[in-house]
Chain A
Amino acid sequence: MSFFGLDCTRKKETEVERKIRANDREYNLSFKYATNSIKTSKYNPFTFLPLNLFEQFQRIANAYFLFLLILQVIPAISSLSWFTTVVPLVLVLSVTAAKDATDDINRHRSDRKVNNRKVNVLINGKLISEKWMNVQVGDIIKLENNQFVTADLLLLSSSEPLNLIYIETAELDGETNLKVKQALTVTGDMGDNLEALAAFNGEVCCEPPNNRLDRFTGTLTFGTQKYSLDNERVLLRGCTLRNTDWCFGLVLFAGPETKLMQNCGKSTFKRTSIDRLMNVLVLFIFGLLALMCIILAVGNGIWENHAGSKFNAFLPREENIAFSAFLTFWSYIIILNTVVPISLYVSMEVIRLGNSYYINWDRNMYHARTGTPAEARTTTLNEELGQIKYIFSDKTGTLTQNIMTFNKCSINGKSYGDVIDHYSGQRLEITEEITPVDFSFNRLADPKFLFYDHSLVEAVKLELPEVHAFFRLLALCHTVMAEEKKEGDLVYQAQSPDEGALVTAARNFGFVFRSRSPETVTIEEMGIQRSYELLAILDFNNVRKRMSVIVRNPEGKLSLYCKGADTIIYERLHPSCSKLMEVTTEHLNEFAGEGLRTLVLAYKDLDEEYFSEWKQRHHESSVALEDREENLDKLYEEIEKDMMLIGATAIEDKLQDGVAQTIEQLAKAEIKIWVLTGDKQETAENIGYSCNLLREEMNDVFIVASNSPEEVRQELRDARLKMCPDTEQDKFLIPEIILGNTPKVVQDESVNGEYGLVINGHSLAYALESNVELEFLRTACMCKTVICCRVTPLQKAQVVELVKKYKKAVTLAIGDGANDVSMIKAAHIGVGISGQEGMQAVLSSDFSFAQFRFLQRLLLVHGRWSYLRMCKFLRYFFYKNFTFTFVHFWYAFFCGFSAQTVYDEGFITLYNLVYTALPVLGMSLFDQDVNAGWSLEFPQLYVPGQLSQYFSKRAFMMCALHSCYSSLVLFFVPYAAVYDTVRDDGRDGADYQSFALITQTCLTVTVCVQLGLDLSYWTVVNHLFVWGSLGMFFILTFAMYTDGLYRLRPSSFAFVGTAQNCLSQSNVWLTVALTALLCVLPVFAYRFLYTQISPTINDKVRYKVCKMKEPAPRPRRARLTRRSTRRSGYAFSHAQGYGDLVTSRRFLRRPAPARSTGFTPTGRSPGFKPTGRSAGYSPVGREQNPKQKVEPTSLQMFRAVKDSSF
């Protein structure tokens, strides 16, 4: 990946301007532009070994062992044979190398796959199918429908009228709606005339390669004319051609120079908090090692002075005492090196990898409907999942499905949509058993539309005029585009899903919107096609909160249809509707109470004369230069009055399955959820209520929406004081002393009662300013729920960064769209919702799955286990290594500090690799304190992880002390048992080799027993590993001490015969048993005492599990329904300006009737702005709040690791 970085920096220096001549390869080659082959792989077969080794030795642990190896070669220092270091080092290096190699092979494979895709290239006037990698800058290529765009292209011509093409940019920015690009007329005229294209010799002069997806500047010189080029003319690699038969394009940037690849810059390397803790601990361990070695070196100096010098006759020594101590220091560095465990890092990687696979394999996180399993895309962050304290969630597509369904309605005072039981008169819960309404009478009905109340269809069939008017309005008053490729196969392109839902509902109830032209809307009313003349669209905007259309029906009658927010419409109704208004208000309250988004519909018949006069004024105002908007508003206001109420609609912004329940579970696990959404405040609040984030019974929900930093600060402070009146000003800041770069940490403050905070993007911008941010954070953290609405992608990341900066907490961001990418990258853990079309969030995420509800399983089960396993692993690993090493330390006091090891070299080599590796690995891959069902049943089990209780500096110190005790037992018990004793046949039993073997046996048995005590989940594999390793110890010990090996190399296998001579002694076994007892029983007792005196939540749950054996079946929670008086203001997730587009015919895909050919768009400048999903950052935000400009780069930090996906 870094290669790109290097490449582009170099290119940037050299290339100031790009010059391309079409169809002139020689000319273009002279600039040495990159070809279209991409390379994401790091190595090739020749560079693999040196490069990989170089990278590996950059890791401190590996370098340390290399250093040890060098020390061991020096004979005066070497206290251990070289193989004790080489064997583990080689093993570790080769495991890592193997992993790197497979990764790289995969990258090679995907590179090859992408590079070998075929595309038609125009060469010498003929279209030739070429591989992508052979495409060069300046080539003209032909793309066909649904093909991926090969490189960054200048659009030349297309099959569609006006040289338009449609592309999907999901891979680039996650937006699933189609976007339009248009070629220059001068090139578009060439069409698919190959001769003309082959002769095309236009010259492009444009900007050098860069990573800005939304900008392009350049000029095309063709003939004598110069044409300016902008983003509108350029197709970017990574897009897909849609709804367009073919198009021709000129390659501008290829391969690594395309904007997509330029964006795939270095992905930030995330580390877990355990990793960071480990770094500190490793430093500490180095300190400890140095301290021990210094003590022993000083000891050696004293001993040499005191006793060693007297021993010179037997063991001559030339060096002076200081030098001897110096050498001893290094010798002990070698011997005690096992305190810095080389296999630790490798084991940690293996454990994380294993636990990642569990996530991939989990059937409970597999979404059958989309066929997407969960995926751990980063395999190094697992245990962090068990420590999440803050979740930052996107709303649309994450909490909600981004599907709006027409759920209920009220027509003429009658409410439809509820299923009523005939006998009891009770409302029935909508489940799968209830049969939906059969729409087969309508051949154009959308089969996906479900409605359960049969009475509405009856009403339509009975031809009740109000009901017909209701659906007619829905079919006419909107800005949806219809596409009908085959007869009867209607596809609606709605720019807001609300509108789509309404039009679809009308369609199913027999009022089918078929097509529109700039002047007409054609609908099919109960099977009869009728064309309405569209006279005006009174467009939506934020102030009006309504939209109207004025149409003339085929009979010539003029009507105005209007839909909008209830409060707005109610003011403009005819007084005669007051009775109906009352009833409808009741219904509206009911709908709102269920979290539905409501709209009120009204109509008005217009009088021909009045209208023509109005139209005249309208025309004048719309061409006026002064006060145009104002005058138009006035005109609209004038005509939209005295309307007749028809009814109201209720749209459900469908939550994903189980969202409310998941949020409840996560709240029980003391995880705080902040919703960061681009939606409007009302929508966001509404969703907050419907997914139980905000509750009626909350003490208060603060809404911060101010226009200056002072006000925002004041509002935040007021909120805080209300929550906790006696907070002191500065007590919440505790200075962080360790590692000075994080200056302060904001402490959690306790609050009585539950509060919610809703802040809009505008205020958030002020709240994030450096002098207000602490106030904001403090207040926000005191609330149970925080909802930020109208947030830009950049702000999402800023909020995450703010929490990361001042809270010592682990954060998780979850989202599905490109606007979440920055937040996903900023958080400790990024989760992408997969299975939808947009891939960008997933590509930059660490974990991905299809449904929000899987989050509880990811955190409460996988995360918790991973954390627990990792901590258990670390605690045990340090224990076993420290114990192993400290024994050498004690022995030093008996062997004149001469760096004599206690154990045999073979044992030292194999201890970490063979005798103890698998049991602890088995523990960290299989251990579970309680099973998944119980983990979900008791989300409180998650809390210890947030507080880092299982592994911390304190836990580490406890480990070290425990090891210290164990090593004392392990050294002094065998010492006392062996000292001055003999074997049962009178022969020597206190020799060094026997002592070594006894201590080894004691150690191995003790650490195995200790592991058995730690292990709370003994699967077959664990049994195999534990007993197998213990057996392996004896087998290998006997094997290494056999005659045969001794005869082979007497100097390496000098322990010949020790095993059978020593292990046949009964007092040896009594010693082993005693050490194991003495080492393990205190731990046993301590743990038991601890559970008795202050049982943790784990102890309690385990106790329950023990008593019940099987988990109780998970209670089926009833669907959360709530009754409240809240009501969503309006339900338009609408963008202004669509009315113009609809009437401008610029938007129309299919050739309009003959009279409209040659029509060129006039009026407003063709400012086609692609609107994202309603929840994204819709352009409405601009008008409201100019401060919230999306910083372009924040969106563009894409990671294109997964080349296979495009």
Chain B
Amino acid sequence: MVRVKSRYLLCEINVPDRSRLFLLDDRAVAAAVKAAVARMHGDYGAALCSIRFSVKYLNAHTGIVFLRFPKKCYRLLWSALPFITCIETRGQKIECFLNCLHVGGTIRTCQKFLVKYNTQQLHRMLPKCKSEEERSQVREAILKCCLTRGNKQEFGEESDSEDDEEQ
């Protein structure tokens, strides 16, 4: 069976102040990645980027992006990601850097990792909670975060279970 394979890169966008995250949208991130690849790898990189690259999911609250690359050249395109220093959107420049957390073959595996990662983050946040109600809120969110069959919940976000395209 011949199947078109891609690699999904789960990245986190780190910004110094979180309020700027809300201005992001997926087209801005895609443009930033394409520009960085063109700068680093020239015309060859820009051409590779136009094959099957897209931003599959972006969460402006937490700064998580899913990027899709073709399997043949994902390492080359991944190597250009550390050189992104700022993302331009609506005329504003947001200084940030991308941190890759996980590489998966399908969106589903990336989502599973993301659920685990988010529970880890919540566990990290728990000792820092200042008030009792914050603490109970965080505890509730951790307990809700589980992958049940057919009904995936990650803080109430949409689950996108699109698999690789079959040709």
Query: Are A and B subunits of one complex?
Result: no
